[in-house]
Amino acid sequence: MKGECRVSSRGPGLAVDCIILLDGKVLLIHRRNPPHGWALPGGFVETGETVEDAVRREMKEETGLDLAELRQFRVYSDPARDPRGHVVSVVFAALGVGRPEAGDDADRYRLIDPDDIPESELVFDHAKILADFRQSWSAGA
């Protein structure tokens, strides 16, 4: 059920997203499944999986990259952040290790300078996430 929103009557779905830095640039994927557009790589946490294991698995599946210096950035929980339903995302930041390759839900990728993020092309609330990240990055947080 890849690409489907896993929201039940018991509450929101749990997902992970990752801001991957590679050579000083942010890696974005173009989503193969709806909603189509550019996004941070990510996906749903599977039952029995930690968010740290989920982010490593999802990044390997979607980008072919391993992660170094993984750290939790923030949690985003606005019920309207995902058009498929209420999804809470634990967002991480990390350095990408290896050579990126689009896979799984990603049909292609691109590396973007953090100051040139194409906000109008991003899906979900990823423009807000990246704006928050740029602000904290420039503040040295």
How confident is the model at residue 3, as a pLDDT?
47
Single pTM value for the model: 0.89
Task: For residue range 36-47, list pLDDT tens digits in order.
Answer: 999 999 999 999
Both tokens of 82, joined, read: 């995902």
Q: Is the pLDDT of residue 100 over 80?
A: yes
Neighbour count for residue 74 (Cβ, 10 Å): 14
How confident is the model at residue 5, as a pLDDT?
53
How confident is the model at residue 114, as a pLDDT?
85
Options 3.40.1350.10, 3.90.79.10, 3.40.50.300, 1.10.3720.10; CATH for 13-138 is: 3.90.79.10
How confident is the model at residue 2, as a pLDDT?
46
- Domain positions in the chain are 13-138
Q: 117-141 burial, b for 16+ CB within 10 Å, e for fewer?
A: beeeebbbbbbebbebbeeeeeeee
